[in-house]
Structure 1
Amino acid sequence: MAALRTPSPEQALADFSPGLPFAVAFSGGADSTALLVACARRWPGQVRAVHIHHGLQAAADDFEAHCRALCLHLGVPLAVRRVQAGHALGQSPEDAARQARYAALAEAVQTQWPEVRDVALAQHADDQIETLLIALSRGAGLPGLASMPRQWQRQGLNWHRPWLALPGAALREWLQSQGQNWVEDPSNTDEKFTRNRIRARVLPALAEALPAFRETFARSAAHAAQAQEVLHEVAAQDLVQVGVPPRIRALQALSRARQALVLRHWLRQHHSTTPSTAQLYELLDQVAACTTRGHCLHLKVGQGFVERDGVGLKFLSP
């Protein structure tokens, strides 16, 4: 199967309609440099930039200096935030850094430019495929297989990923054609990180065996996202019926699959935690066994515990 024609960065931005003004998360790397330059040209005077200084490597100061110089050249206001994210027990350093980055981006935008409601991120098609493959390797369900959304809301802001149809190589080629340089993060070639191993070893093999894999894998992720949206609606409706916190008898009236769906939804929406598959299956077994008043239930679930509380369940934070 022949690969589909890759759109140019300018064409990709044709489908991007942020509220103006808006902000771009700008690391100084190729992907975010392409995003900042293309957006500044398309919406002159309407773009802001936020650079997150992680302080994780000696080159971080050079990254910031590069970002300041390019923003000055483009006439784009820049906010810089410094974060040093420590990770909790059981949390990966990458996940901790990602959460700290999002929090710092939101804080910078809302503090520096209160009129801004939209933020653009530079993840591209290769990042999407890496996310999907990592989800598959972990046995993820639909939320994981849906990978990264093109747009969503968080912390009072609208977040966008306009590059998801573009491979990273296309962005670099475009930057080279524009005579625009960027910084290279040396950690991007460190294969101790799963994403880097996938990028270096798996994606080239997939490109050779399945030339259209970026488009077809992205289509599968989109199908999973659509199915997950429907399940989210079902779970929200079921949660209204079983109550918050959930009543045991009402849960038992649902099929096991819908019990799993509504319990995940309750834990995620009301307690910001997600059970492992093993934890959820054990919770379902215990709910099924609650046929007498004397049956006790106390299980580690996500970042806390679920207990029986009379006729219902309750969640205890650690």
Structure 2
Amino acid sequence: MKPPRVAVAYSGGRDSTALLHATLKAAAAQGLQVLALHVNHGLNPRADEWQRHGAAQCKTWARRGLPIEFVAHCIIEKPARGDSVEAWARQARYKALRGMAIEHGASLVLLAHHRRDQAETFVLQALRAAGVAGLSGMPSTIERDGLTWTRPWLDVPRENIEAYVRRHRLRHVDDDSNEDTRFARNRLRHAVWPALSAAFPQAESALADAAAWAQEATACLAELASIDLASADKSGGLDLRAWRALSAARRSNLLRAWLRSRAGQPAPATLVRRLMDELPEAGSATWPLPRGELRCYRGVLRFIGGTDSDEPQRETTLSVRRAGAYALPGWHGRLQATRVREGGVPLAWLAHLSLKAREGGEQFQAGIGRPARSLKKQFQAAAVPAWERDGPLIYSGGQLVFVPGLGIDARVLAPPGQAQMALRWLPLR
């Protein structure tokens, strides 16, 4: 059996080299295998040289008995004219890291961002007039695209990492593109940060703390939106009568959260402002969106998605025969099956499953001895927000087995002693 694997995003630079080295030292004592994931963007003339350096460094550590494997991916595509090179490279990098991690059996990816990176992100987002979510910066841990991404050094000052590199005499590469002030972060680092830190020596820690406060505020706003949606949800639509009863700030907060859950991406500020102005007096109306449109009819706002040839078809069947994560890209998530001793579905029920979208009229029993009620009422009673209701309804032999956001229907719970599985829906964020 292969040992458990953890991955480190490894560019060969100072920060990722230090993180990889520290991870190796910890992994060797715990019996873990470490994957060094290197992405060759092909944008810099020295990109191949950096890849060779990373491979050679990992080979040296492997000869010393450290549990390291170097994995590289070369990006062939190039950014389109007019694209932000920074944004394009970031998206391409995370896509490549995800692919390598999944291919090589790692579910956890470590990233080397530190406190200075977080402080810089806060400043850049503020200069872009970002809201509270943008000012939150980078999360220390997040589940996204079927993986757990974590930044263990997000509270660590840059100087500590530099000291670690000197103490262990770690060789690393220097990316000369970091000197290119055409990029916003480089302009901040070279033209603004020295003056800012000279005038305010505590700037790095203060701005990183501000990002942490913004993260807490973002979580509170999400909870508030969940509470408000419990009374404003109407079969996936937004009941405008209940929405209008809220204060202006709560209407805006709920509208942003609902739009994101329906359209799958944050709504432009211009759209939110327009809807705030027009919805209170709207009768029958429509508003176009990149991936569909909003329709207001009889006091309910609904999102109608358009067809997208790049979207995978939704799966309609599934067979669960053992514990594990079952990817369902058409539903934008995965079903996690875990062996349990009680509170699960009989394993025999899971061999032939049907996957369906909500149609209305479905009945769910939340507990033994409790009456079956409509999904709408069950969602409201459990205060399940709309974005946690997405995903397939799972049936076996015509009987509803599992509902995302609610769990297993009590009518199919297995008796003690029988082989059974707990189910959990994990949407891709």
Partner of 1:40: 24
1:197 maps to 187
Contact 2:286/2:293, CA 8 A, preserved across alignment: no
**Which aligned segments of 4 or more residues in structure 1 are displaced greater than 6 angstroms?**
none
Other-structure match for 1:159 = 149
Residue of structure 1 equivalent to 2:108? 118
Give yes or no for contact 2:86–2:183 (8 Å, CA) kept in 1. Answer: no
Gaps of 5+ in 2: 63-67, 309-429
**Does the 8 A contact of 2:262 with 2:303 survive in 1?**
no
Partner of 2:281: 289
Q: 1: CA distance between counterparts of 2:129 and 2:216?
A: 19
- Contact 1:150 1:162 (8 Å CA) reproduced: yes
Matched to 2:92, the amino acid is: A
Corresponding letter in the other structure for 1:30: R
8 Å CA contact retained: 1:247, 1:313: no
How far did 1:37 drift?
0.7
Structure in which a larger fraction of residues adopt helix:
1
Structure 1 contact 30–183 (Cα < 8 Å) conserved: yes
**Quick one: structure 1 residues 308 and 201, their matched pair in 2 at CA, closer, same or farther if it must change by over 3 Å?**
same
The residue aligned with 1:107 is 99
So what's the TM-score if we normalise by structure 1? Answer: 0.85
2:237 and 2:80 map into 1 onto residues whose CA distance is 27
Larger CA deviation: 81-90 vs 250-259: 81-90
Deviation at 1:161, TM superposition (A): 0.7
What is the total number of aligned residue pairs between the two structures? 294
**8 Å contact from structure 2 (residues 285, 296) kept in 1:** yes
Q: Which residue of 2 aligns with 1:12?
A: none
Deviates more, 1:49-58 or 1:24-33: 49-58
| In structure 2, C-alpha distance between the alignment counterparts of 1:89 and 1:246, rounded to whole Å | 39
Specify the alignment match of 1:142 in structure 2.
Answer: 132
Change (3 A) 1:308 1:88: farther
Which residue identity is paired with 2:303? Answer: K
- Is residue 2:86 matched to residue 1:94? yes
Matches within 5 A, 1:250-265: 250-265=242-257
Identity %: 35
Q: Which residue of 2 aligns with 1:307?
A: 295
CA deviations 1:152-183 (Å, max 9, x no partner) are 11112111111222333432332123221111
Q: How does 1:266-285 map to 2 (within 5 A)?
A: 266-285=258-277
Residues 54, 83 of structure 1: 8 Å contact kept? yes
Query: 2:23 matched to 1:31?
Result: no
Counterpart of 1:122 in 2: which secondary structure? coil
Measured in 1, the distance between the counterparts of 2:140 and 2:227 equals 25
Could you say which residue in structure 2 is the equivalent of 1:81?
73
What are structure 1's unaligned runs of at least 5 residues?
Answer: 1-18
Shift of 1:263: 2.1
Task: Determine the C-alpha separation between the residues in 2 that align with 1:309 and 1:101.
Answer: 43
Report deviation, 1:88: 7.1
Separation of aligned partners in 2, 1:275 and 1:97: 23
Q: Against the structure 1 CA distance between its residues 81 and 31, is the aligned structure 2 distance closer, same or farther, given a 3 Å change threshold?
A: same
Alignment-derived partner of residue 199 in structure 2: 209
Return the alpha-carbon distance in structure 2 between the equivalents of residues 88 and 316 of structure 1. 26
Is the partner of 1:222 in helix, strand or coil?
Answer: helix
Offset of 1:237 from its aligned partner? 3.0
Q: Normalising to structure 2: TM-score of the pair?
A: 0.64
Residue correspondence of structure 1 range 169-208 to structure 2 within 5 A: 169-208=159-198
SS at match of 2:295: strand
Tell me the SS of whatever aligns to 1:65: helix
Give the whole-Å Cα distance in 2 for the aligned partners of 1:276 and 1:91: 18
Counterpart Cα distance in 2 of 1:85 and 1:153? 26
Q: Which has the larger radius of gyration?
A: 2
Residues in 1 aligned to 2:274 and 2:81: alpha-carbon distance in whole angstroms? 22
Shift in Å, 1:84: 4.4
Q: How many angstroms apart in 2 are the aligned matches of 1:270 and 1:119?
A: 29
- Separation in 2 of the partners of 1:251 and 1:87? 42
Q: What SS does structure 2 have at the residue aligned with 1:119?
A: strand
User: What's the CA shift string for 1:41-76, capped at 9, x where partnerless?
Assistant: 122152221111111122111111111111112221
Tell me how far apart the structure 1 counterparts of residues 246 and 288 of structure 2 sit (CA, whole Å): 21
Q: Deviation at 1:26?
A: 0.5
Higher strand share: 2
Task: Between the two structures, name the one with larger relative contact order (CA 8 Å, sep ≥ 6).
Answer: 1
Matched, 1:49 2:36: yes
- Which residue does the alignment assign to 2:52? 65
Query: Which residue of structure 1 aligns with residue 118 of structure 2?
Result: 128
Contact between 1:85 and 1:97, CA under 8 Å: does it hold in 2?
Answer: no
For 2:136 and 2:12, locate their aligned partners in 1 and report how far apart those are by CA, in whole Å. 28
Tell me, in whole angstroms, the C-alpha distance in 2 between the residues paired with 1:33 and 1:48.
13
Aligned-residue RMSD, C-alpha: 2.3
One-letter code of the match for 2:10?
A: F
Query: C-alpha separation between the residues in 2 aligned to 1:192 and 1:309?
Result: 48
Q: Which letter maps to 2:238?
A: P
User: Counterpart amino acid of 1:39?
Assistant: T
Amino acid at match of 2:225: A
